[in-house]
Amino acid sequence: MNELVEKAATALGQAESVAIACHVNPDADALGATLGLSNFLRARGARTICSFPNEPFEPPRWLAVLPGADALVRPAEFPIEPALMVTCDVASMDRLGMLARSAARAQTLIWIDHHVSNEGLGTIPLIDPRASSTCEIVWRLVREIGGDVPVETATCLYAGIVTDTGRFQYEAVTPETLRLAAQLREYAFDHTRLVQALYEDNPAAYLRLLGTALDRITVEGDLIWTYLTQADLAAAGVHAAETDDLIDVVRTAREADVAAVLKQQRDGRFKVSVRSKGGHDVATVASTFGGGGHRLAAGYTSKHGLAETIHRLKAALRGEPAVEG
C-alpha cells in the first residue's frame, strides 16, 4: 500500500489536469474525497474536473457546505479519455455508471477505496478495507504529495470521515481516525454549519414518511426490516436521496442483529440496505445478490419484488445458498 501511495502521489504531484469521479448517488465520503482532493490539486495549480454518474444530475443539498463544488460537471461533460483519472469510494465498475467508459480509457487510473468487496481496479489501486473512509486514504495521499493542505480540503475530508464512521461509532474507528479528525478540526471551517447541513436538514415531509416506514417495521427472528415504495415517496413529496438515514433509525432496535430497509427505485427494483450489529457478515450476503459493502454495512439491488426479496434475504442470513437469478 505504501509503495502505491508513493506512486499515486508522484502521478498526481506532476499532473496538470486530473479527472476525478465518485459513485452514483454519492454520499459525503464520496463527494468529500472527490472535492477534497480536487481542492488540494487546484491549490497546487492543477486543473481538475469532477463528476458522478447521476442523470438527472442533482447534487445533494449538503453539497452547499462543501467548498469547490464548481469543479463538478454533468457526467456527459466528463472527459472520455483522461490522461489521469481518480475514482473515490467506488467499490465496483458498475457504480461508475456512464463514467466507467472514462475509467476504462484513462491512461493512469488511481482507484481509491475502502470497501472490502472492492474489485481492486485501476493501474494504481489504493484500497484499504481497514480505513474508516475514502477520505482517510485521500488524507494519506495528500500528505504524501506534500505541501500545504488548504482549509477547503480539510472541510471536505472531515465531512466524509464524520459521516462514514456514523459520527465515530463504527468498528473502523481507530485512535488514528480520531487523531485525523482532530487534525482536520484544527482548520477554520464552520463546524456547526457543516454538521447541521449533514444531520439536521430534514424536511418535515421526511419525518412524516419516517412515520410510515416505522409503522411497517417487521421483526422476524434476527432480522428487522421495513420498506418504502415509489408511491410512498411520491405521496410524501420526498426524494429517495432524502431517506438515506432511515436505516440508521431501524438498526437501533435491540430485538434483531440485522436491519434491512428496502426502497423501491424508479425502475421498480428494490434497493436493499443491510446493517448488522456484529452477528452477520452482510458484505458477503450482499455480494451473493450482486452488491457489496462492508462487513457490518452493505447493500444491493433486487428485481424480485418485496416479498421475494425478503424471503431470499432471510435464506441468505441463515447461510442457505443463494437462489439463482
Interface residue list for Mn ion (CB under 5 A): 29, 89, 134, 164
Q: Which amino acid is at 279?
A: G
Alpha-carbon distances, residue 139 vs 32, 105, 135, 146, 150 (angstroms): 11, 26, 6, 11, 12
Residue 48 CB, nearest distance to Mn ion (Å)? 20
Residue 165 CB, nearest distance to Mn ion (Å)? 10
Residue 218 CB, nearest distance to Mn ion (Å)? 29
Residue 30 CB, nearest distance to Mn ion (Å)? 6
Instruction: Report the distance separating Cα 308 and Cα 98, nearest Å.
Output: 30
Nearer to Mn ion, 228 or 283 (CB): 283
Residue 293 CB, nearest distance to Mn ion (Å)? 9
Instruction: Report the distance separating Cα 284 and Cα 294, nearest Å.
Output: 9
Alpha-carbon distances, residue 165 vs 37, 49, 71, 136, 253 (angstroms): 19, 27, 26, 11, 19
Residue nearest to Mn ion (CB): 29
- Residue 224's beta-bridge partner residues? 219, 259
Q: Is 191 exposed, middle or buried (0-12, 13-18, 19+ CB in 10 A)?
A: middle
Nearer to Mn ion, 33 or 272 (CB): 33
How many CB atoms are located within 10 Å of the residue 302 CB? 19
Nearer to Mn ion, 165 or 243 (CB): 165
Residue 255 CB, nearest distance to Mn ion (Å)? 28
Nearer to Mn ion, 164 or 257 (CB): 164
Nearer to Mn ion, 102 or 134 (CB): 134
Instruction: Report the distance separating Cα 103 and Cα 82, nearest Å.
Output: 8
Nearer to Mn ion, 23 or 312 (CB): 23
Q: Which three cell numbers stand for residue 91?
A: 467499490
